[in-house]
Structures are given as C-alpha cells and as structure tokens.
C-alpha cells in the first residue's frame, strides 16, 4: 500500500527534515510542522525543488501546546483530504544527572518526549480511527533499551516510555487496518550532536534517514537503524552489566 499523504512533526531540522526529503523523492505529499516556521518555509522550497509534483503544507506547532497539536493535525487532514501516515518525531535531549539542580531541563525533556508524544499519538489515532486506516510511526531511540547516565538519564527513560506506549497502541489495533511502527535510530549526525566529535558507528543524516524511511515504507513493527551494526549491538547492550553501561556512557 502506498501512503501518499504523510504528516511529520519536528520537521524543521534533523531527522524530520531528512525524512521529508526522502519522502519527497518518493513523490509523497507532505504536511510538516515545527516551531521554526522560517526553517519550514525554506524546507518547503527545497522539497518542491526535489519534486515539483508533490504538495507540501506547513504549519507552526509547539508540541507542548497539546490543544494546538489536535488543531494542527485536523487542519492538515483538511488540507490533504486524508492523512495516510503520521510520524511522531518531535523531541529534545536537554538534561543532566538527576539531583544536580537541573530539574527544569529534565522536566522539559520529559514533557516534550513523552507527554507531548502522547498528545501527538492521541491526535493521530483519532484521525486513523475515524478513517479506519492509517500508519502511526514513532521515532524512539536505541537508548530506549537500557537506563543511561548523566544527560541521557531522562532522555532514555522517555524513549523507553514511548516504545512501550507505541507497542500498546499496536496491540490495541491488532487485526485492524491501522498499522503501527516504532523506529529506534542509532547514532545519526544531526544538529543536536554535530559538535560531538567522537561518536561510535555514527552515520550522516542522509544515510540514516534512508534507512529509517525504508523501514517505515515496509511498515515494520519495530526496527533499529541503520541495521548494521545496531541489530547486533542491541543484544550486547541488553546483556551489559551496569559497569559496562557506565563505561559506554
């Protein structure tokens, strides 16, 4: 099945922007939202340059404004007529070790990566249940597998929660026309980590997004991307002792 009309949150940069480019190459219509409208406007021009035959709609959205999430998703549905796939991608990685005076930063990550993701899933599933069809995709993380230290503690916890919530939705919609996918990216170079020099197995944005879009198109239930080496590393990571996790982090 071809999912022609695709909505992506957090599309102004990083994985959201990279995925939009890959879907434009495939000739898909796009509904893109993020806080930074100037970035979205520039991206729209770029996407129409890649494929002038597609439709691209853009709207500002702060996913922490939960009522706005519902309103924007409904507005995109009116623009497109129907929404075939919604990719819950918006997120952030701010934070520090628990108890070191950075509660507000940690709370912001928790609210954005989980509570706001819940709002996006709720809004998406309302549309899909009404249509009795659709494909929900959540962008989790390799870090969802285990607890992490320092700045990654809350981030990893939110991604574990997102993975679990997505699986729950998958169970809830089993044997229906609604499909549900969770993507767990490994290390992909984006604006968030561009200043970090030493990252093992990191790939460039285009390579990472090609792998992500391939699995989304195949509508897999859950995947770790790029497949190599993360399909192997995930088993090692699951069995690692706390001392090993300390060294890895």
Of 26-30, 45-49, 185-189, the range with the lowest mean pLDDT is 185-189
- pLDDT band (50, 70, 90) for residue 148: confident
Give the tokens for residue 244: 């090993």
Q: What is the pLDDT of residue 191?
A: 67
* Residues belonging to the active site: 155
Asked if omega into 231 is within 30° of 0 (cis), the reply is no
- pLDDT band (50, 70, 90) for residue 128: very high
CB atoms within 10 A of CB 147: 13
- pLDDT band (50, 70, 90) for residue 39: very high
Task: Give the residue numbers spanning the domain of 117.
Answer: 5-248
What CATH number corresponds to the domain at position 137?
3.40.50.720
d(CA 179, CA 27): 21
Residue ranges of the alpha helices (H) in 3-65? Answer: 14-25, 37-50
Region of 181 please: left (phi>0), alpha (psi -120 to 50) or beta: beta
CA separation (Å) from 227 to 59, 184, 218? 33, 10, 14
pLDDT in tens, 84-109: 999 999 999 899 999 999 999 999 99
d(CA 141, CA 160): 8
- pLDDT band (50, 70, 90) for residue 198: low
Question: What are the two backbone dihedrals, phi and then psi, of residue 6, each rounded to the nearest 5 degrees?
Answer: -125, 130
Total structural domains within the chain? 1
pTM score above 0.85: yes
d(CA 12, CA 185): 18
Give the tokens for residue 111: 């609210």
- pLDDT band (50, 70, 90) for residue 230: confident
């Amino acid at each position: 099945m071809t999912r022609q009309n695709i909505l992506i949150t957090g599309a102004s940069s990083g994985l959201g922007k990279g995925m939009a480019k890959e879907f434009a190459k495939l000739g898909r219509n796009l509904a893109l939202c993020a806080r930074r409208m100037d970035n979205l406007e520039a991206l729209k021009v770029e996407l129409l340059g890649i494929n002038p035959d597609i439709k691209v709609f853009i709207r500002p959205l702060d996913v922490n404004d939960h009522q706005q999430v519902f309103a924007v998703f409904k507005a995109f549905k009116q623009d497109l007529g129907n929404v075939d796939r919604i990719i819950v991608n918006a997120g952030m990685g701010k934070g520090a070790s628990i108890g070191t005076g950075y509660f507000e930063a940690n709370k912001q990550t928790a609210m954005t990566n989980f509570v706001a993701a819940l709002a996006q899933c709720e809004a998406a599933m309302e549309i899909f249940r009404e249509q009795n069809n659709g494909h929900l995709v959540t962008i989790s993380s390799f870090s969802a597998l285990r607890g992490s230290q320092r700045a990654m503690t809350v981030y990893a916890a939110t991604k574990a929660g997102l993975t679990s919530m997505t699986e729950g939705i998958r169970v809830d919609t089993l044997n229906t026309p609604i499909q549900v996918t969770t993507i767990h990216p490994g290390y992909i170079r984006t604006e968030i980590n561009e200043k970090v020099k030493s990252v093992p197995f990191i790939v460039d944005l285009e390579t990472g997004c090609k792998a992500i879009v391939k699995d989304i198109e195949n509508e897999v239930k859950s995947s770790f991307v790029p497949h190599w080496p993360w399909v192997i590393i995930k088993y090692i990571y699951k069995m690692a002792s706390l001392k090993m996790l300390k060294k890895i982090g």
